[in-house]
Structure 1
């Protein structure tokens, strides 16, 4: 992936972790779902005005012309909005990828409800603001705010569409301008499907530039390189290409960095990489032990405690279910390190999900399966260590650790079974190393060799810690 894209991903992940990432969605984000852009939306109205929609570029004026021609009655415009955006279209892959990330601030000029539906589908509670009055209210336990600054499809009579609407905007919806101005100062925006021709956004950007000139926050926008259409002559294409380069250069005034792509399918690819890189900053540790092997309980728990501390030093989050015999030591080491070094809020670094025990067997197995699915999905990398339990006085390999390995693969996590710790972890390591293209496809040749080294028996478990963390750091793009 290009250097500018990876630079954006690194920066945006930091902003997400700080709670300062935002998205601004334009019409282009919804087009892959089957929704129309403004040109297609207004095409029938242009016919009524005896205009050729192919030659029109000022769609705000076109909407106003139609209202004027109908004695200031906008019922046909409202009808066009309802028919265009009230379909059963589903959120796109880009919507779904973004909704799964910790982005709490969303702005859009779109009327459709794809953003809020994607957030709900990701198990989040969206607080939608499509009227000024709603800005003063807070939805309980919300996970994200969706500012629909031009209105909502269910209220087309209030939609911002005509020149009159834009001219009245500062008076009727000025609170949106103030809120957006504040977010531009405090958050890093990713613009998607946006053409930067909206007068309201231009006013906000100008205000911020004048106030913070030379100290504006960096934002990002994804653009498709202008290519020549099949029915477009050379002169028209050259003019359009030149204009795009000028628009991109103009965005520098507002510290908006363009990220250029050749085709729109590249957008979900970039977002998919963003999701993958973000998730890899969280590791899930699957481990249990009733038998501590040749090392003894003291060495095993000491190893797990030190591993927990080292994970915290590597700037990753830890997810653990407090596995039998070793989970508490891992958790203790992590907590000690966070407290000792004052590494921020503990709940942001450690996710603990102890397995419920006080249930009869049939109910417990069903609940544990659902529980495992939820826990594992929170991470991007999974470590598997030890993995044994006592059943009827005999030591067996833990089927639960194996199931977590299977679930991790189903959710696309990078699986790292540490075979040197024995028991089920050794079984899983042998399985993965025997067919690395299936089980270890995310690892390069060097990383596969590192994992193979971690499958060899060791007398001192502490010698495994640095090689394990080197793998983890490499997967999240950090090498120390």
Structure 2
């Protein structure tokens, strides 16, 4: 057996262990709910993209590099391979040594994110040799240009004084829990991500949905009625005229506007159901 054959065998074993019907955790779902446009992971499994598509629809996220990045579509970069392709999995020492020569473009994507933005790191130990090298190269570039800055924030379960000191001024380390119990700390991470999702979410798919009109107050009630009426007017236009209003109609749909005729049918269905129960 050659060394490459051994590496492929390891990849197949990883697929067996992390593929199949394993369900995303609550943390995966909470991260997916943030709808981050650009995500990098060293994990091989498909749990994040499964959670993302469950929340935002089929084909709502592209998986790089095996899929093509599409305009306006969020993507997740599998830095160390993907269970969808066992041969892509980076696991053996030989894989890591040859990584830069064989997968330099993937590292360049990560470095571009480091160089142009502020990374939020969740669930990564920051001990991966390739990730460390990429970070140090960007830090060296910043130093050469006399532009020292913090590359990102690392969210950890518990306090890590050593790495906090090691990466001082390069990465900020923030612990989500003061508990020494791993399970309690993991639960605190879920609570943190839930709070983060609440504070950062701008989606409001219920505003024009009549089923949730009880959540509106004051002037919002009349505004929602007027917007639903406007949506019905657009839908009643001849096709050649309706197309000109497609952008606005899409906004109404995102806010939960239901066609008037469909609302009537739903109301009739609910009434019939109640009559049958009586």
Structure 2 length-normalised TM: 0.69
Quick one: structure 1 residues 359 and 151, their matched pair in 2 at CA, closer, same or farther if it must change by over 3 Å?
closer
Q: Residue 138 of structure 1 corresponds to which residue in structure 2?
A: 69
Task: Give, in angstroms, the shift of residue 145 of structure 1.
Answer: 0.4
Which of the two has greater strand per residue?
1
Gaps of 5+ in 1: 1-69, 227-243, 289-302, 308-318, 329-345, 368-480
Give the Cα–Cα distance (whole angstroms) in 1 for the partners of residues 150 and 229 of structure 2: 42
Give the Cα–Cα distance (whole angstroms) in 1 for the partners of residues 79 and 9 of structure 2: 22
State which of 247, 260, 276 in structure 2 corresponds to 1:357: 260
Whether 2:207 is the aligned partner of 1:272: answer no
Aligned partner of residue 98 in structure 1, secondary structure: helix
Give the Cα–Cα distance (whole angstroms) in 2 for the partners of residues 211 and 157 of structure 1: 33
CA contact (8 A) 1:129 1:145 kept: yes
Task: Give, in angstroms, the shift of residue 284 of structure 1.
Answer: 6.3
Task: Give, in angstroms, the shift of residue 189 of structure 1.
Answer: 2.1
Aligned partner of residue 56 in structure 2, secondary structure: coil
Quick one: structure 1 residues 182 and 364, their matched pair in 2 at CA, closer, same or farther if it must change by over 3 Å?
farther
State which of 50, 53, 56 in structure 2 corresponds to 1:123: 56
The CA deviation string for residues 342-375 of structure 1, in whole angstroms up to 9 with x for no partner, is xxxx99x9965544224583256669xxxxxxxx
CA contact (8 A) 1:99 1:122 kept: yes
Whether 2:30 is the aligned partner of 1:97: answer yes
Query: How many pairs were matched up?
Result: 231
CA contact (8 A) 2:34 2:197 kept: yes
Give the Cα–Cα distance (whole angstroms) in 1 for the partners of residues 54 and 205 of structure 2: 24
Whether 2:219 is the aligned partner of 1:323: answer no
Aligned partner of residue 155 in structure 2, secondary structure: strand
Structure of higher CA gyration radius: 1
Q: CA RMSD in A?
A: 3.6
Quick one: structure 1 residues 365 and 102, their matched pair in 2 at CA, closer, same or farther if it must change by over 3 Å?
farther
Aligned partner of residue 90 in structure 1, secondary structure: coil
Quick one: structure 1 residues 111 and 130, their matched pair in 2 at CA, closer, same or farther if it must change by over 3 Å?
farther
Task: Give, in angstroms, the shift of residue 111 of structure 1.
Answer: 0.6
Task: Give, in angstroms, the shift of residue 279 of structure 1.
Answer: 3.7
Give the Cα–Cα distance (whole angstroms) in 2 for the partners of residues 115 and 320 of structure 1: 40
Poorly superposed stretches of 4+, deviation over 6 Å: 325-328
CA contact (8 A) 1:321 1:352 kept: no
Q: Residue 162 of structure 1 corresponds to which residue in structure 2?
A: 92
